Structure 1
């Protein structure tokens, strides 16, 4: 059995028929096909024009504005392990380590057709992929050898190369070696790469200081992977990228207490949860999670959700499409708690997960899902 809670934009694609374009408060999402409601959800990934639901049986269905708003099964013969959706591209990682992707920046001749992009990597030793992340117009691959590749648009340096030399590539190109994690977002034109020494590198669009390099680096484009030197100390758990701001979740060790997770943000005021403009990562402080443990974060275009161990769903940012689920369209520059309906499987909130689309939001039940697998 699954449970999915939905709120926000309900168009392009229409996710819930016979409902308004804006779902103002969190409501129960149900598939029209009753059989799908019986399947256990593994992951949800949503972008501007499509949303993919991945089930634990390794199959997935897609809602897309290009398929007359009707959900369609994704015809990949291998079992699907992860899905990721960007602004105008999608990628699927199979258990066998293959990546199938589609989109205008990936396959200009037939952007609606999935192609195996991992097979296009020149080094055959790098063709087994362990993780995938979509940016707005690019896709990032992490190989079993800890090498990071990028494919798609590089117009803002989001692949780590001079955009005049390489504005776009339809074959994966090696960006960096010795990478342990890749972070981007469905509307992001930048990427963060974390190496095995917990050193963080970034490249891409920086028009509002969203790369976190500080006031000394105000270029609009960071076209070469650059180390972030002023990163807060601790273990980086997750980084989520909105369009013009970034959120980082860091776990800090305490000698006499359990590890504490803290949130830091940079980028444009109103969307970053700080109530101010900042060029470097600055701690987001709120009484809502001061004495609580942050389980998970997720970011859309201009809004952020936080799930805590005390069963709180917290949000901030833009709310024009009701993507904060507050019942109105008022923006929230600092964190607020979101009122949820009674959950069916609320015996352990850690079995729930959050996923922000560009202008919508999901809370869904998926037990035994490891954190490293979380959304794009």
Structure 2
């Protein structure tokens, strides 16, 4: 493996200080002005893999925490301030439900700022504060990507978790309400506008085919398209409209780009 590949692999590390040191060394020893664009390339890679760069799934999770909407569990900081969170996210991000007590113990010794950073690291699995991360690493699924965590929620058939039904002509699709709120501004707006939780189902008016809807369903959990799915021009056109209908976050990775890339390959 050549030096370039080694450096690129190191830049994918979760260790922020290691990545900063690599970038510094690249600029320090890269005295040839003609190679300046190479250094910039490494620097862009650093930004991409750094905790400051989030996928839309991570962005949506952090937004969910910051908005403090639909929370169902609370924690108290060292000064008695209350921080609210979501049981569903903690259930899958922590190693097991017994770790909630340990998390409460950690939060009880932290300031409100430190506590917020801890929760944002749990929700996104990004190292925002290395010192704080070292304190929670043993209680969270630190080696599991957020996409993998969300896939476990997707595969779980627990009726108590998948508490909302989207009815279509072909079949019913069950979702955790929290996932719809987090990923779709359409459903977030709908749930926020309802003063009483009178129904656990809604009819889908998106006019997506069943295949397109299944792609949408899997993507909101995983940011991915299943390998076995065959993409057609019709599906791309349907989901281009569906993206606007469901009001999805279309920063990286963009669903439409994923569809087009898969179609072309």
Larger Cα-atom Rg: 2
TM-score (norm 1): 0.25
Q: Normalised by the size of structure 2, how large is the TM-score?
A: 0.32
Report which of the two has the higher share of strand. Answer: 1
More helix by share: 2
